[in-house]
């Protein structure tokens, strides 16, 4: 053990006793005496109770003050010196270092503005799982945990388990008309995660990506955050305007679209527009990301053929998730890849986070293979159809027709619009007055002129709450409209011209 000199008498300012706090939150109660003393001394030094260059009490004196053994004090002093808090001089004593490590100070409370997720009625992204389906899932998860195998004890396939990928391939064929090999499927924690991985594998920083306008803000932010350049492409009643994309960014390397149920407007991309988009991708040697986020929830008619099904997975990357069909807490999404991208995307995934979590993969595969997944979807569709109809009728009637509410044939949200000539600030004021969840329609626009209205979720909320929130929003919209009309109708005073 290194010998620590005791502080000898010298003509320098010295405290008879050092005020140490040995019981505060900075001290690990129950730890060894030298550890607690070290923590208390650090706290005193960082807190300025002893200044840089000032002497520390002799070890014998500090042992007497604290009641600790002298060797505990010596050990604590040794550690202070080793960590840069103190310096020792033979014949002179132990002193606080002239400069102390700044990072060793008391941790500061992080002040980060993070918007909490919305869970109020009309919020988007909420789901419901049928109680029977939940019981089945618990049983499947329990069985998988009891049969804990070696696959959980080492790193696995970067694409995810072959069992779940095979189950997803079967589901895509039956539900979306998409034929693909399980080897073309990669699991991720969600569609945004899959988007980031694939973009990183196929694009270079600064490449342009077409994005719908209005569109899904989170996808646009993810694209921009990864160093690519989102290009706003207008959306009309037939979907993304491919001609506008060609005109503004003909050399774009990718496009992100929601063709089956455009977010937020809810329109379906027409077949001519789909073929036009695929022609552009082929001509430009680009790829199309198809976010099929809510295709399982179609209430009227047969499911639409996916864009990837039309393309046969040549230029389209298909993305889906279990966040809405089961529940978001699973954090399991997936993408189906063109064969040419399997290698580079798998390598990119392995470089980022090795492979997906394995514990829940088997339980989700059991849900798909057993029919429990399909049964839960049937129950959810019935529940969400009722919620959709109630929300739409309540908004329309309670607003005296001021809100136009097209009833969507698919999805988990609807759009309630004010007259297009209305200032979008009226909608913002109404939503603030009502204090309800959901989005302003204007929040989904980037360059195009925003329309006044609301994007409202109806899934995962009890019907009585939906009715009450819809009535609040409708009444607040009427009040905001009356105030805006009153202001616009107020006569202006004529300008007075001074006469000589």
Show pLDDT as tens, one digit a residue, over the chain (500 residues): 444 444 444 434 555 578 888 888 888 888 888 898 998 888 888 888 888 888 988 888 888 888 899 998 999 999 998 988 999 887 778 889 888 876 444 456 666 666 667 778 899 999 999 999 999 999 999 999 999 988 888 899 999 999 999 999 999 999 998 999 999 999 999 999 999 999 999 999 999 999 999 999 999 999 999 999 999 999 999 999 999 999 999 999 999 999 999 999 999 999 999 999 999 999 999 999 999 999 899 998 777 789 999 999 999 999 999 999 999 999 999 999 999 999 999 999 999 888 998 989 999 999 999 999 999 999 999 999 999 999 999 999 999 999 999 999 999 999 999 999 999 999 999 999 999 999 999 999 998 889 999 999 999 999 999 999 999 999 999 999 999 888 776 665 554 444 43
Do residue 345 and residue 227 come from a single domain?
Answer: yes
Cis before 418? omega within 30: no
Do residue 352 and residue 248 come from a single domain?
Answer: yes
Tell me, what's the pLDDT at 122?
Answer: 94
Do residue 290 and residue 204 come from a single domain?
Answer: yes
Do residue 337 and residue 397 come from a single domain?
Answer: no
Tell me, what's the pLDDT at 104?
Answer: 47
Query: Chain-centre distance of CA 135, in angstroms?
Result: 28
Distances (CA, A) of 305 to 255, 368, 378: 19, 20, 19
| Structural domain range at position 481 | 375-488
**What element of type H or E holds 163?**
helix 162-176
Number of domains into which the chain is organized:
3
Strand partners, 416: 454
- Rounded to an integer, what distance in angstroms lies between the CA atom of residue 165 and that of residue 183? 8
Tell me, what's the pLDDT at 438?
Answer: 95
SS3 assignment, position 237: coil
The answer to whether the beta carbons of residues 42 and 2 sit under 8 Å apart is no
Do residue 330 and residue 462 come from a single domain?
Answer: no
- Residue 8 in any domain: the answer is no
CATH of the domain at 60: 1.10.10.10
**Which of 80, 96, 112 is a domain's end point?**
96
Do residue 280 and residue 191 come from a single domain?
Answer: yes
Do residue 414 and residue 484 come from a single domain?
Answer: yes
The answer to whether the beta carbons of residues 56 and 77 sit under 8 Å apart is yes
User: Helix/strand/coil (H, E, C) string of 341-405?
Assistant: HHHHHHHHHHHHHCCCCCCCHHHHHHHHHHCHHHHHHHHHHHHHHHHHHHHHHHHHHHCCCCCEC
**What element of type H or E holds 156?**
none
- Residue 106 in any domain: the answer is no
- Residue 245 in any domain: the answer is yes
Tell me, what's the pLDDT at 146?
Answer: 93
Tell me, what's the pLDDT at 475?
Answer: 97
Do residue 340 and residue 272 come from a single domain?
Answer: yes
Query: Chain-centre distance of CA 136, in angstroms?
Result: 28
CATH of the domain at 235: 3.40.640.10
Instruction: Report strand pairing: 208-213 vs 453-457.
Output: unpaired
- Residue 75 in any domain: the answer is yes
Tell me, what's the pLDDT at 173?
Answer: 93
Tell me, what's the pLDDT at 24?
Answer: 82
- Residue 140 in any domain: the answer is no
Do residue 195 and residue 249 come from a single domain?
Answer: yes
**Which of 301, 331, 357 is a domain's end point?**
357
Do residue 351 and residue 379 come from a single domain?
Answer: no
DSSP string over 317-341:
EEEEESTTTT-GGG--EEEE--GGG
Q: Quick one: tokens of 321?
A: 């998730």
Cis before 214? omega within 30: yes
**Which of 357, 392, 411 is a domain's end point?**
357
- Residue 497 in any domain: the answer is no
Do residue 349 and residue 406 come from a single domain?
Answer: no
Do residue 329 and residue 405 come from a single domain?
Answer: no
Strand partners, 210: 231, 255
CATH of the domain at 408: 3.90.1150.10
- Residue 175 in any domain: the answer is yes
Half-sphere exposure of 437 (CA within 13 A, CB side): 22
- Residue 11 in any domain: the answer is no
pTM of the model as a whole: 0.79
- Please enumerate in sequence order all residues whose Cβ is within 8 A of that of 356, keeping only pairs 6 or more positions apart, or say none: 156, 160, 187, 188, 189, 332
- Rounded to an integer, what distance in angstroms lies between the CA atom of residue 88 and that of residue 95? 6
């Amino acid at each position: 053990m290194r010998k620590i000199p005791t502080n000898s008498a010298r003509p320098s300012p010295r405290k008879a006793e050092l005020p140490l706090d040995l019981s505060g939150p900075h001290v690990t109660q129950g730890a060894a005496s030298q550890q607690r003393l070290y923590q208390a001394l650090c706290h005193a030094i960082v807190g300025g109770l002893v200044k840089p260059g000032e002497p520390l009490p002799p070890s014998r004196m500090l042992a007497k003050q604290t009641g600790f053994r002298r060797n505990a004090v010596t050990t604590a002093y040794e550690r202070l010196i080793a960590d840069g808090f103190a310096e020792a001089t033979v014949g002179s004593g132990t002193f606080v270092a002239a400069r102390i490590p700044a990072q060793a100070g008391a941790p500061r409370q992080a002040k980060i503005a993070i918007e909490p997720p919305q869970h109020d009625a009309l919020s988007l992204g909420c789901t419901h799982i049928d109680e029977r389906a939940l019981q089945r899932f618990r049983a499947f998860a329990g069985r998988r945990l009891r049969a804990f195998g070696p696959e959980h004890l080492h790193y696995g396939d970067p694409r995810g388990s072959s069992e779940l990928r095979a189950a997803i391939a079967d589901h895509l064929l039956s539900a979306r008309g998409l034929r693909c090999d399980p080897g073309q499927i990669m699991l991720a924690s969600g569609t945004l995660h899959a988007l980031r991985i694939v973009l990183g594998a196929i694009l270079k920083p600064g490449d342009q990506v077409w994005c719908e306008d209005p569109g899904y803000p989170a996808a646009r932010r993810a694209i921009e955050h990864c160093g690519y350049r989102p290009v706003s492409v207008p959306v009309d009643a037939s979907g993304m305007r491919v001609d506008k994309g060609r005109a503004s960014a003909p050399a774009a390397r990718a496009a992100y679209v929601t063709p089956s149920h455009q977010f937020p407007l809810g329109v379906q991309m027409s077949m001519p527009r789909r073929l036009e988009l695929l022609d552009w991708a082929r001509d430009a040697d680009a790829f199309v990301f198809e976010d099929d986020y809510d295709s399982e929830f179609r209430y009227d008619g047969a499911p639409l053929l996916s864009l990837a099904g039309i393309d046969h997975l040549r230029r389209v990357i298909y993305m889906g998730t279990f966040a809405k069909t089961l529940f978001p807490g699973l954090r399991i999404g997936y993408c189906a890849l063109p064969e040419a991208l399997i290698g580079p995307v798998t390598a990119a995934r392995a470089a980022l986070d090795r492979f997906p979590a394995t514990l829940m993969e088997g339980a989700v595969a059991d849900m798909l293979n057993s029919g429990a997944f399909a049964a839960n979807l049937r129950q959810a569709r019935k529940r969400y159809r009722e919620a959709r109809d109630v929300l739409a009728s309540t908004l329309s009637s309670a607003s005296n027709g001021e809100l136009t509410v097209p009833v969507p044939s698919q999805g988990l949200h609807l759009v309630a619009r004010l007259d297009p000539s209305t200032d979008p600030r009226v909608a913002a004021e109404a939503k603030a007055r009502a204090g309800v969840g959901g989005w302003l329609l204007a929040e989904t626009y980037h360059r195009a002129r925003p329309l006044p209205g609301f994007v409202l979720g109806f899934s995962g909320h009890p019907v009585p709450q939906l009715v009450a929130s819809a009535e609040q929003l409708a009444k607040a919209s009427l009040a905001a409209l009356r105030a805006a009309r009153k202001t616009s109708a107020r006569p202006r005073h004529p300008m007075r011209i001074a006469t000589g």
